[in-house]
A and B are shown apart, each in its own frame.
Chain A
């Protein structure tokens, strides 16, 4: 019995999600709609319908990478809230290389575009890491503030030097089609970015769990003083983990450009960097669970529009549910399994029944 309770406890993030959906259901009912019809339309539109699933997977690609960008530095104890800015900088650098570097073989150009995105995001993340490691400045505040700077910077480039001539809205010219990621689901926009995300999730699960680098980061994250005595260069590990996190976020920006939009748009990311924070915690900060958490959240987002069309319920309800999901998962992750309590609880319940049995025998 104690094993069952412990197993149920291990699934606590799933209960948290159900709780969030339940509270969301109350809010839907309060708005005068049937929650079951609403969720039915949402989940059908997100996962059952072929084109709906396509829309879900399109959203999933950047969010998956943005989630990794939160998980990786957090192993070393750093909160990377700057995924959004790193996505923008990655996309900016990739688009720059895609548009202005010419004369390379196609494959080399493609590789360079990817690398440029990673470096752009990585360097943007390196700034708060340096400030954290050498000046002790809180990385949360700096990464958030830098998001606003990056968004404005991209907005400047696409409405100024990189703007498509005669464009009605700030966006860059289209990149060359040899750089496009290939589609993997006929008739939908799903591109190979999703495969990159899945492979990277698995790779980083392995690196964080089994490699000396990952274990070094965990040591830094749990106890920087012990890490120092163990001979780990704490400052360097802070820089590396943030750079890697930023690079993955930068890649998310790159695949949005070369996989979906083929141009750099002003304000192109609807907050994927912040969604990354939600999925990272929903996955319990474990990259192997990240694809499932991301699939769920992307489904909510993609299905929201279907639901709005079907029953007329505001799609922003999903943002509220997303907020509930992160609140409940954050709370559930803080709970510790109290084995002695449950053992005592079970014993107390069983005790009277044995007494009853005894009395029957008498």
Chain B
């Protein structure tokens, strides 16, 4: 069952699949890290991934280029983010309720508008996706070269965005503000930071990032949009960010772990046809739950996570 680990070409193939499957989760988890560090649960990541996937399909079809898909994905997921931020930050709807509402709304909207835009289903979608290109020299590294450095632009961008997010969060005043708001919003407010404005902006960025994850599924992996195609990736991302201890780099590593778990179950489905495929299909979700159990209690979420902020003394 595991003999592919000792065959170089099969191993690089497997690792390539693992890294690619981790990308949507990584985008969503990075978005989730940002919003939760600012103290806002983003249960709506799943809906944002889905709206990003839909935006990716619509944009690529309308403009004829995958870049149009990226723009629409950012736009649609960003709009979902505006709704989520309005509800959970400004109107102080319970953050979990608001997130669930966004998921149900985006599932309904994408299903309906997909039928309107693509009346003949996947057949009428002519989606031009991103092409892979090799990064000179690096792609020649044995084993790791091809899986990591012969990919497309969205793949590389997560490996640029994560260090950037880390740098913004830990090395810039704005990052300090975000973290302060997530830990002790009253103190941040006293220091003159607008808690609501910052949270609003961060939630919108968070959803837009998750939308890029959805765009990656459509523009780099499957090249069609289907109903509810996010299939729980946004929820796995929520587990990944806890596992990654609310740190962008940790979240990326956790996403890679889940991507590899997914790649492993896909490979095992083919290599062990005598074992019912359902057991492999549930593996990524079981892995997420087990990871939460193992790491629970050892990690501390941002102190003000899930609490709404009211400026008192008015």
Chain A 129-152 interface residues, beta-carbon cutoff 8 Å to B: 131, 135-138, 140-142, 144-146, 148-149, 152
Inter-chain contact A156/B232, CB cutoff 8 Å: no
Produce 1/0 per residue, A219-251, CB < 8 A to B.
000000000000000000000000000000000
Inter-chain contact A274/B104, CB cutoff 8 Å: yes
Inter-chain contact B93/A156, CB cutoff 8 Å: no
Produce 1/0 per residue, A312-324, CB < 8 A to B.
0010111111111
Inter-chain contact B91/A317, CB cutoff 8 Å: no
Inter-chain contact A323/B105, CB cutoff 8 Å: yes
Q: Which residue of A lies closest to B106 (CB)?
A: A323
Residues of B within 8 A of A124 (CB): none
Residues of A within 8 A of B281 (CB): 152
Which residue of the partner chain, among A27, A140, A153, A331, contacts B87 with CB atoms under 8 Å?
A: A331
Beyond A140-B96, A331-B91, is A316–B293 a contact (Cβ under 8 Å)? no
Residues of B within 8 A of A89 (CB): none
Determine if B279 is an interface residue (Cβ-Cβ < 8 Å): yes
Residues of A within 8 A of B94 (CB): 330, 334
Chain B 285-301 interface residues, beta-carbon cutoff 8 Å to A: 285-286, 288-289, 292-293, 296-297
Determine if B64 is an interface residue (Cβ-Cβ < 8 Å): no
Produce 1/0 per residue, B101-113, CB < 8 A to A.
1101111110111
Q: Which residue of B lies closest to A328 (CB)?
A: B101
Q: How many residues of A contact B (CB 8 A)?
A: 44
Produce 1/0 per residue, B22-56, CB < 8 A to A.
00000000000000000000010000000000000
Q: Tell me the smallest distance from the CB of B11 to a CB of chain A, in Å.
A: 28
Inter-chain contact B93/A331, CB cutoff 8 Å: yes
Determine if A69 is an interface residue (Cβ-Cβ < 8 Å): no
Chain B 88-132 interface residues, beta-carbon cutoff 8 Å to A: 91-94, 96-98, 100-102, 104-109, 111-113, 115-116
Residues of A within 8 A of B43 (CB): 140
Inter-chain contact A148/B104, CB cutoff 8 Å: no
Produce 1/0 per residue, A269-284, CB < 8 A to B.
0000010011001000
Please tell me which stretch of B155-163, B209-217, B234-242 contacts chain A, meaning at least 4 of its Cβ atoms lie within 8 angstroms of it. B234-242
Determine if A218 is an interface residue (Cβ-Cβ < 8 Å): no
With most chain A CB atoms within 10 A of its CB, the pick from B83, B104, B235, B282 is: B104
**Chain A binding surface SS class:** helix
Chain B 234-278 interface residues, beta-carbon cutoff 8 Å to A: 235-236, 238-239, 242, 276, 278
**Distance in angstroms between the alpha carbons of A142 and B232 in the assembled complex:** 12
Produce 1/0 per residue, A299-336, CB < 8 A to B.
00000000000000010111111111011001101110
Inter-chain contact B112/A137, CB cutoff 8 Å: no
Inter-chain contact A327/B105, CB cutoff 8 Å: yes
Inter-chain contact A330/B278, CB cutoff 8 Å: no
Inter-chain contact A145/B236, CB cutoff 8 Å: yes
**Distance in angstroms between the alpha carbons of A27 and B113 in the assembled complex:** 10
Inter-chain contact B92/A159, CB cutoff 8 Å: no
Residues of B within 8 A of A321 (CB): 108
Inter-chain contact A145/B288, CB cutoff 8 Å: yes
Inter-chain contact A316/B278, CB cutoff 8 Å: no
Which residue of the partner chain, among B105, B116, B278, contacts A155 with CB atoms under 8 Å?
A: B278
Residues of A within 8 A of B83 (CB): 327
Determine if A160 is an interface residue (Cβ-Cβ < 8 Å): yes
Inter-chain contact A148/B111, CB cutoff 8 Å: no
Inter-chain contact B97/A281, CB cutoff 8 Å: yes
Which residue of the partner chain, among A135, A136, A149, A330, contacts B282 with CB atoms under 8 Å?
A: A149
Residues of A within 8 A of B297 (CB): 135-136
Q: Which 8 A-B pairs have the closest CB atoms?
A: A323-B105, A319-B108, A323-B108, A156-B278, A320-B108, A152-B282, A152-B278, A320-B112
Q: List B residues at the A interface (Cβ < 8 Å).
A: 43, 83, 87, 91-94, 96-98, 100-102, 104-109, 111-113, 115-116, 232, 235-236, 238-239, 242, 276, 278-279, 281-282, 285-286, 288-289, 292-293, 296-297
Q: List A residues at the B interface (Cβ < 8 Å).
A: 27, 31, 79, 81, 131, 135-138, 140-142, 144-146, 148-149, 152-153, 155-156, 159-160, 274, 277-278, 281, 314, 316-324, 326-327, 330-331, 333-335
Beyond A144-B232, A153-B282, 17 additional contacts (C-beta under 8 Å) are: A81-B100, A135-B296, A138-B292, A145-B239, A146-B289, A153-B278, A156-B278, A156-B279, A314-B116, A316-B108, A318-B108, A319-B108, A320-B112, A323-B106, A326-B104, A330-B87, A331-B91
